[in-house]
Structure 1
Amino acid sequence: MKRNILFALFILTFSTVFSGFIGKAEAAEDPLGLAAEAAILVDADTGKVLYEKNAEVVLGVASMSKMMTEYLVLEAIHEGKITWDQNVNINEYVHKLSAAPGLSNVGLTQGENYTVKELYEAMAIHSGNAAAVALAEVIAGTEKNFVEMMNNKAEELGLVDYKFVNSTGLNNGSLLGNHPAGSPDEESVMSARATAQLAFHLLKDYPEVLDTASQPRLPFRDGRTYDNFNFMLPTLVHAYEGIDGLKTGSTNFAGYGFTATAKRGDQRFISVIMKAETRSIRFTETEKLLNYGFSNFGKEELFVADYQVEGHETVPVIKGKQDHVPIETAENLVLTIKNGEKDSYVPKVVLDQNLLNEDGEIIAPVQKGDIIGYLTVEYEDGEPISFLTEAGKQYAQVPVVAGESVDKANWFVLSMRAIGGFFGDLFGSIASAVKGLF
C-alpha cells in the first residue's frame, strides 16, 4: 500500500514538473498566449514579420479566401475586362444560393440585373457568397474556370501553402450540389503566412480595396442594411481605432478567422488570426495582436541619405581619371523595428556585380548618382530578418550611388599608366630575382 502511494506521489510530481516544462515551451513559442491555432503580424509596408504562431500550418481559410476573389475582380477592373457599372444577370443557381439558409448572403433575384459594383460590395462588406459566385462567372465564364485563376494567381504572387476550391470559402457541400474544384466536401485552405501574403499584395496592388472594406454597413437595393462582419470597424461592437479592413471567415472546419489591417499615423499592420473558437475570440485576439504591434514597434530611420558604410566608402575604378569613386546611400533607410532595438541592426552593402570586373573594379566613366548597388540591414547576431516573401526584402533596401563623377582618362594617360605598370612589373621581377640570389 505504502509503495503504491509513493509511486502515485512520484507520478504526480513528475507530471507537474513535466507539464511545467511544456507550459514554458508553449509560452516561449507564443509570448502573447493567443487563443487561436495560428496567427501572424506583419508590417504592411514591407511585409516584415513581427510575430508568428504556427504560421506555416495549413488550415481552413473560409471566407478570408474572398480576398483572392476581390483581387481578381479589382485586377479585371484595372485591365478593362469588366466595369463597375456593368450589369450581371442573376441565374437560377446564384439566386438559390443567395437564399440558402445558414449562409452569409444578400438576396439576389433570378433574372434581375445587378451591377458589378453592387455584387462586389455585397461580397466585400457582408461576405455575400452568391455575389462572389456571380462575379466569378462574369469574369471567367464559370466558377470552375475562376478557381483555376485563383490558384494561378496565388502561384504568381509567390504564395505557398494554399489550395482554392471555390470562389467563396464555403465548404463545397454547401454549394447546392456544385463543387467547382476538389472533392464534394472540401474547403479552401491556406496558412496564416499565405493569408497575410495575399492581404499584403491586395493592399499593395489595389489599395482602393479599403474604400469598400472600411464600410461598416451596406444599404442595399432591397431596402435592407447589412452589417460588415468585421465588427472591429467604427460604430460596430468591437470597434478598434485604426481598423479599416479586411476580411473575416468562418466554417465548422475552419473555425473563426480574421485578416485585419489597421493604421495609426504612418504605421500600418496586417494581422491574421486562424481557427479561433468563437466569433468574439477572433476579435479579442486580433486586438491583442494589433496592440502588441502599435505598442512595441515603430518606423525607425536606421540610416540617412548620403550615409557611407565603414569599410565600403569607395569602389575602385579602372580607366578613370581617379582610381576610386565614393559611394553613399541615395535616400533614408526606414524600417519598422521593435522599440529599443535600433542598435541591433547593422548595414550591409551589396554591389551590382554586373557593373564590376573580376577584380571588383568599375569601368569609367561613372556619373554622380549612378546606382552601384544597394544598402540593406541585418541583425548583428546574424539571425535573418523575416519577410513574407523574398521579393519583400526589396522594401528594406535603398540604392547605393556614386557620390561624384569619375571621367574616363584620355588615351595618353592610359598609355602612360600601361607603360608605368609594365616597367613597374619588370623592375619588380628583377628585384625579386636578384633578391633570390642572396
Structure 2
Amino acid sequence: MKKLTVFILSLFMMLMGGSQSVLANSRIDASAAIMADASTGQIIYKQNVDKALPVASITKLLTILVIEDEIQQKQLSWDTQVKITPEIAAISNDAAYSSIGLKSGQSYSVRTLINAALVKSADGATVALATATGDGTDEFNLKMMQKAKKIGMTKTNIVNSVGLDNGDMKSFKLADLPNNAANTMSARDVAILSQYFVTHYPELLQITAQKEVKFQIAKDQVKTEKNLNKMLPGEQYAVKGVTIDGLKTGTSDSAGACFASTGKYQGHRIITVILHSKGSNKDNRFKATQNLYKILKTEDHLQKIKVPSSVTTRKVANGVEKTMKLTPQHVTIWSPYDTKTNYTLGTQYKKKKLEAPIWKGERVGSLRITSDQLETLNGEPLTYSLYSANDVRRGNFWQRLLH
C-alpha cells in the first residue's frame, strides 16, 4: 500500500460558504431530496437524506451496474442474445406493469434490454437481464447488495432487480418475504448510486438521453417508446440553462413518484434525487426537481478556491531541478451567497518523497478541502487531484549528489 503523507495548511480564508442550502429543511415537496456535484460529491441541498425509503424502479440503476460488471467479467456482452422465457414474458406483457411486450421464445440483445430498462423502465426486460447468466432472484439480489456495499450505499435493501413489490414478481417472487416487501434506499444512497453510474459509465448517458427508442419486438413488429424522463431538453419540464441527460424515474404505491436526475449546469455535472414527491400527480417529481435547480440558481454560486504557492510548489529528490510545480485540478465549491465560512486546505501525496523522474501531467497527490459547513456524499473531504506541471528528469550522479 502506498504511503500517504498529509500536510495541512490551516487557512482561515473568508468566502461565501456552503451551509444554508445544505441545512435547509423540507423546502422541497417530497419525503426526501438531495442535490450534489457529481465530480466532488459536494452536497448542495439535503432533506431527510438518510432515511431508507421505497425507491421503485430507481432500483434499475443498480441492476445495470451489476450487468456492467458481468460484461466486464466476460459473462455477458452487449450483443449477447437473451431468450425470453414464458415467465419473463408474463411480466413483460402485463399491462399493469411498465412493459414493452417481449415475446416468449424470442431472443433480444443485452443492448436492447438495457435500453428498454433505462428508457422505458421495462420490468420484463430488467428481469431478463438479471437472469441472463442463470441467476435466480436471490442470487442476483446478493450481487446487487454486494455492489451497493462496495460503492458506499449503507441504507439499501434489495428484494428484486426491478423495483416491484415482492408479490408482483409473479414466479420470481421470494417465498420467504411478504408480498409488500419492497426495495429501499436512502436519498443519499440513490445519489451515491447515481454518481457512480455517471462517473464510471458515462456512455450510458447516451441511452438515458434518448427521447424515444424503437424496439424490434418481433420480425414484423416495431414499438416506439418515449422516455419517461420529462426533463430532457425540449421536454415539458426542462430547466433553462441545464442540460439534463438522465437518469431514472420510479413509481409505485409505496414509493410514490420518485426521480433521480443528472445534468450539466455551469459546466458541472449535477445529481438530484426526489423520493416520494407530494401529491397524486406523478409529474410533481419533475416540479420538485425544478425547485432544486431554482434553489441552486438563486442561492448558490461557484466559488473558486485560491491555492497558495506553498501547495503548488513541491521539493523533488534526484532531479535536475530541486523543486517542481504542481497544477491543481480546477478547484471550485458551491457556496451560498449570504454565508461566510472558514475552511482548511490539506495536501495528500501518493509518496512521502517525490522522486524524479516525474512527467508532466502525472498525478502526484490530491488537494483536500475540509469545513464544518461543507458536506459530501461519502463524508470525506472535497478532493481535487494535483498534477505535475512539467517534466522533472532524473539528474546525473553529480546533480543527485549535490541535491
Q: Would you call these one fold, judging by a TM-score over 0.5?
A: yes
Structure 2 unaligned spans of 5+: 1-20
Q: How far is the alpha carbon of 1:235 from its aligned partner?
A: 4.4
The residue correspondences of 1:133-152 to structure 2 (distance < 5 A) are 133-152=127-146
Correspondence 1:385 to 2:374:
yes
Q: Which amino acid in the other structure matches residue 377 of structure 1?
A: I
TM-score (norm 2): 0.79
Instruction: Please name the residue that 1:118 is paired with.
Output: 112
Instruction: Please name the residue that 2:327 is paired with.
Output: 330
Structure 1 unaligned spans of 5+: 1-26, 357-361, 415-438
The CA distance in 1 between the partners of 2:155 and 2:164, in whole Å, is: 18
Instruction: Please name the residue that 1:251 is paired with.
Output: 252
The CA distance in 2 between the partners of 1:373 and 1:117, in whole Å, is: 38
Closer, same or farther in 2 for the Cα pair 1:151/1:371, shift >3 Å? closer
Instruction: Please name the residue that 1:199 is paired with.
Output: 194
Q: Is the 8 A contact 2:346 2:367 kept in 1?
A: yes
Instruction: Please name the residue that 2:232 is paired with.
Output: 233
Q: How far is the alpha carbon of 1:34 from its aligned partner?
A: 1.0
Correspondence 1:303 to 2:306:
yes
Q: Which has the higher helix share?
A: 1
The CA distance in 2 between the partners of 1:218 and 1:249, in whole Å, is: 19
Q: Determine which structure has greater relative contact order: mean sequence separation of CA pairs < 8 Å that are 6+ residues apart, divided by chain length.
A: 2
Instruction: Please name the residue that 1:208 is paired with.
Output: 203
Closer, same or farther in 2 for the Cα pair 1:216/1:332, shift >3 Å? closer
The CA distance in 2 between the partners of 1:181 and 1:390, in whole Å, is: 38
The CA distance in 1 between the partners of 2:255 and 2:368, in whole Å, is: 38
Which one is further off, 171-180 or 41-50?
Answer: 171-180
Correspondence 1:223 to 2:226:
no
Q: Is the 8 A contact 1:43 1:336 kept in 2?
A: no
Q: Is the 8 A contact 1:73 1:139 kept in 2?
A: no
Closer, same or farther in 2 for the Cα pair 1:187/1:336, shift >3 Å? same
Which one is further off, 102-111 or 69-78?
Answer: 69-78
Secondary structure of the 1:81 match is coil
Correspondence 1:398 to 2:392:
no
Q: Is the 8 A contact 2:313 2:326 kept in 1?
A: no
Closer, same or farther in 2 for the Cα pair 1:240/1:340, shift >3 Å? closer
Closer, same or farther in 2 for the Cα pair 1:371/1:114, shift >3 Å? closer
Secondary structure of the 2:245 match is strand
Q: How far is the alpha carbon of 1:54 from its aligned partner?
A: 0.4
Secondary structure of the 1:223 match is strand
TM-score (norm 1): 0.73
Closer, same or farther in 2 for the Cα pair 1:405/1:126, shift >3 Å? closer
Closer, same or farther in 2 for the Cα pair 1:124/1:400, shift >3 Å? same
Q: Give the aligned CA root-mean-square deviation in angstroms.
A: 3.6
The CA distance in 2 between the partners of 1:390 and 1:367, in whole Å, is: 32
Instruction: Please name the residue that 1:6 is paired with.
Output: none
Q: Which has the higher strand share?
A: 2
Q: How far is the alpha carbon of 1:282 from its aligned partner?
A: 0.8
Instruction: Please name the residue that 1:292 is paired with.
Output: 295
Secondary structure of the 1:212 match is helix
Greater Cα radius of gyration, structure 1 or 2:
1
The CA distance in 1 between the partners of 2:285 and 2:176, in whole Å, is: 28
Closer, same or farther in 2 for the Cα pair 1:319/1:195, shift >3 Å? closer
Alignment size in residue pairs: 371
Correspondence 1:159 to 2:153:
yes
Q: Which amino acid in the other structure matches residue 58 of structure 1?
A: A
The CA distance in 2 between the partners of 1:374 and 1:145, in whole Å, is: 39
